[in-house]
Structure 1
Amino acid sequence: MNWSEHPEDLPEEEYRATTDEYESYPPREEPTTPTTTMPTVTSGRHPVNVGHLVMGVAFLGLTLVWALVVSDAVSLADHQWLLPAPWIIAGAAGLAASAGSRARRATTPRRP
């Protein structure tokens, strides 16, 4: 039988000969070396996407600043520091999430 031919494409006599040939082989033995498995960590948490977190916090902060300015609760002329505050807070949240995920990755055992 040619290596490129499928047994199903052969005439019935040759097909039977190829399948009988495989049945005559001894059964495979299980490996004698022990296999080690890593314990499964089920913490219920998923990895944080830092980019989504930063942009979400920035959007929420800018929306809050916009609402304060539109409702005349704050005037931007007196509180110019208010506009960059959401970006600074979002950056700090991103740094904290990034540092937290790196620390958690260092203590979690890796699978082989």
Structure 2
Amino acid sequence: MFTAMTLIKKIFEDFNSKRATIVGAGHMSKLAIKYLQSHGINDIRLTNYNYDKGQKVAKEHGCIYSKIQYFGNLISTSDIIITSTSSSTPVMGKGLMESCLKTSKNLPSS
């Protein structure tokens, strides 16, 4: 998570008002949530393929749970996306990212 926060700090000057999405509800996702919150990022959405587990983790950590069906919308409305799943295949493909970035208003300024 240190590396993720280092990258986030390089991209955003002020990240306290940023929205983050965490994909996954395991140990590393929980650490990511805690790390983001400790750095002032409190608008955190969590999504997970297992609805019950995702809701439980979101509630325990003060996040908002969103169903995986709304993943594209989460990407479009998030400034920061951290994926931490046990999936053997990529969670986000190139096509999904490209279509979401077209509608995103949360791109960092260059």
The TM-score bracket by the shorter chain reads: under 0.3
TM-score by length of 2: 0.26
Bigger CA radius of gyration: 1
TM-score by length of 1: 0.26
Q: Could you say which structure has the higher helix fraction?
A: 1
